[in-house]
Structure 1
């Protein structure tokens, strides 16, 4: 004995498994001469707000930084070279805490 729901299920499966008509192919990407000359994109304005350059205020602990914007996370920042030292920084989030790592490199 066959159930009418089994027939409906078989029809639905056969409808879903059929491929759309038409040819399938992958064309290679051709690089145009104009594409090679393009300049790199301009840095978005929200990435110009480096945490290391923000003022914490007099009443705050100087070791605490303000909470970073989510777009600032997992980016490498390089400050201008001053007094022969280059500073690199990156901020990562772990649960509700933020960790900023600084690397000082004498040049």
Structure 2
């Protein structure tokens, strides 16, 4: 038996299955139960099991995703939109905005010129330029103790300029009222 993990509304587990037909049922409150909404088959003990068929093609990620989309409500809605040109009226299908999002995704690689139009990343905010490792420690302080960091500096990865063939990375985390700065030194 494989136990299921409880989520907020449901139970789930992950099992690696080889291609072929696999039978299963659920053990709930001391009783064996089958899912009435899933495919079933008779077993050799005279009771029923749910059955799932795993094909070789299920291991091809994009093919499997296409099949899942085709069998889902979103795939049905896409087919109706493509055939009629008008969005479906059923409440089970996604709304028009979701259908538009689905239309934008393809397996085609965009033209290089589209990337050249992309904007540059934003300028680094000034408070992130004040890296603790670059600050001087006051003379009365222990040189091994860094000054208290600004709250916006927490959980960021910082890199010092490469000096003497050594690169330094740091990250500062808060644990209750204490700050822990981890330094990683890498010779280059």
Q: TM-score, normalised by structure 2?
A: 0.41
Aligned length: 84
Pairwise CA distance, 1:24: 3.0
1:70 matched to 2:167: no
What residue is the counterpart of 1:42 in the other structure?
123
- Of the three residues 140, 162, 179, the one matched with 1:81 is 162
Aligned partners of 2:131 and 2:150: how far apart in 1?
10
Aligned partners of 2:157 and 2:115: how far apart in 1?
30
Aligned partners of 1:97 and 1:35: how far apart in 2?
45
Mark the runs of 5 or more structure 1 residues left unpaired by the alignment: 1-22
What residue is the counterpart of 2:172 in the other structure?
91
Pairwise CA distance, 1:39: 0.5
Deviation sequence 1:47-80 (CA, Å, 0-9, x none): 0000011111111111111111111000000011
C-alpha RMSD of the superposition:
2.2
Pairwise CA distance, 1:43: 0.4
Aligned partners of 2:115 and 2:187: how far apart in 1?
40
1:24 matched to 2:24: no
Structure 1 or 2: larger strand share?
2
The structure, 1 or 2, with the larger RCO (C-alpha pairs under 8 Å, 6+ apart) is: 1
What residue is the counterpart of 1:16 in the other structure?
none
What residue is the counterpart of 1:4 in the other structure?
none
- Of the three residues 136, 141, 144, the one matched with 1:60 is 141
Q: TM-score, normalised by structure 1?
A: 0.70
Q: 1:96 to 1:35 in 2, by over 3 A?
A: farther
3-state SS of the aligned residue for 2:143?
Answer: coil
